[in-house]
Amino acid sequence: MIEAVGLTKRYGDKTAVYNLSFQVRPGAVTGFLGPNGSGKSTTMRMILGLDNPTSGHVTIGGHPYRRLPNAARQVGALLDAKAVHGGRAARNHLLSLAQLSGIPARRVDEVLGVVGLQDVAKRRSKGFSLGMGQRLGIAAALLGDPQVLLFDEPVNGLDPEGIHWVRNLMKALAAEGRTVFVSSHLMSEMALTADHLIVIGRGQLLADMSVTDFISANSADFARVRTPDTEPQLREKLTSALTEAGGHVLPEPDGALRVTGLALPRISDVAHDADVRLWELSPHQASLEEAYMRMTQGAVDYRSTADRKAGLQQPLPPGAQPPMQVPGQGQPGWYAPPPPQQGGQLFAAPQSAPGQAPAGPYGAPAAPGAVPGGQPANPYAAQRAPQAPAVAPVAQTPQPPAAAPAPPAAAPAPASAPASDPTKPEDAR
């Protein structure tokens, strides 16, 4: 159990972490999320006694880290893959750490096998790829078979097989009753692995709740409405009609409208009353990624901007207008609309099963496997389907089931192709 109370760290005038209090419990994977530079690593370092907090304190099992008896047997940590002397062979690196805590040398070979580095054990870690370095770091964390494990960005640089392995490893470790604390800036990754989330931004606590609660508190549903492209005036008409009816309308780059605050049947009614034809009316769920981005958008330190090449472009010919930027997805600083107000039911009951595979635009069935049928409103909530973040974009592109790539050669009968589709997420867990 890790417990932080009023943890604060200042470097000169810069406050890296401010008044952070949280608990990390055993038996669960706790995700530690935040944008780059939000203080995740600083917090990790304070937990591990590498940095002294300016104020507050953090304990592991009731002891400050530096007073833990035989710390390496109680806490294992992956800080960053580079925390290794590149000139030393992988096995010697682990052996020196094992000797430091009185761990038998045969345990070194054991963990090398666990992380799959036994074949390169005699090679110097300088020549390791990022993924191999990460595996070596994980091996060091597992060396003492500790009760508490901390991982700072464990999946950085790992291949899909490695990511899959780390996910399972962390879940297995937690299932054994250990405390597992994993930092990441990838919400999608945490949604798959973590049971509990601690979100920080600019060094302050933004959220400390279970993944399920995080989703219900932050995910925002919206409806995508498309009017005939050939008649732009209909779009204007519908926009004003929907706004009048109490909806919140945002234009999307491709000309569709993103509507919140109105149930789907109501949108249809409004459109009918306004005599506007619709080409699309579909329910959508903002991904957890977006919920996280929205939560942390005020706390991002390093924000990318459009590359305008100012002063390097040929001046526009007189009279020409620069292309208008439509605010929308994919542009820096734009996120999904905020979650609905308390009690504001976004999709009313008649819109029967929100979890049912939503029909793609133009009536085409949604991509296979995009949203398994009969699933509760949020794909993360119970099953945490790995493909969930892609739900919105996938639903946008019509993709009949037949389009699923059949495995080349040695493929089973075409009828069973979708089931054995290598991109199928079921076996990605």
For residue 35, count other CB atoms closer than 10 A to its CB: 21
In the complex, what is the shortest distance from the CB of residue 35 to another protein, in angstroms, rounded to a whole number? 23
E strands in 147-301: 148-152, 179-184, 196-201, 204-210, 221-226, 248-251, 257-260, 280-285
Q: Which of 209, 369, 396, 400 is nearest to 288 (CA)?
A: 209
User: Nearer to another protein by C-beta: 147 or 287?
Assistant: 147
In the complex, what is the shortest distance from the CB of residue 76 to another protein, in angstroms, rounded to a whole number? 8
Phi, psi of 14 (to 5 degrees): -85, 125
Q: Which of 38, 34, 48 is nearest to 184 (CA)?
A: 34
CA angle, 203 then 158 then 288, to 5°? 50
In the complex, what is the shortest distance from the CB of residue 39 to another protein, in angstroms, rounded to a whole number? 14
User: Nearer to another protein by C-beta: 176 or 236?
Assistant: 176
In the complex, what is the shortest distance from the CB of residue 201 to another protein, in angstroms, rounded to a whole number? 23
User: Nearer to another protein by C-beta: 77 or 207?
Assistant: 77
In the complex, what is the shortest distance from the CB of residue 421 to another protein, in angstroms, rounded to a whole number? 38
User: Nearer to another protein by C-beta: 107 or 164?
Assistant: 107
Q: Which residues in this chain contact another protein in the complex, by CB under 8 A?
A: 1, 25-27, 45, 48-52, 61-63, 65-75, 77, 79-80, 82-89, 92-93, 95-97, 99-105, 107, 140, 144-147, 176-178
DSSP string, 350-409: TS--TTS-PPPGGGPPPPTTSS-TT--SSTTTTT--TTGGGHHHHHHS---GGGSPPPSS
Do residues 238 and 227 lie in contact, with contact meaning Cβ atoms separated by under 8 Å? Answer: yes
User: Nearer to another protein by C-beta: 104 or 350?
Assistant: 104
User: Nearer to another protein by C-beta: 102 or 405?
Assistant: 102
In the complex, what is the shortest distance from the CB of residue 360 to another protein, in angstroms, rounded to a whole number? 45
- Exposure string of 101-138, with b = 16+ CB inside 10 Å and e = fewer, is eebeeebbeebbebbebeebbeebbeebeebbbbbbbb
In the complex, what is the shortest distance from the CB of residue 100 to another protein, in angstroms, rounded to a whole number? 4
For residue 416, count other CB atoms closer than 10 A to its CB: 11
User: Nearer to another protein by C-beta: 7 or 299?
Assistant: 7
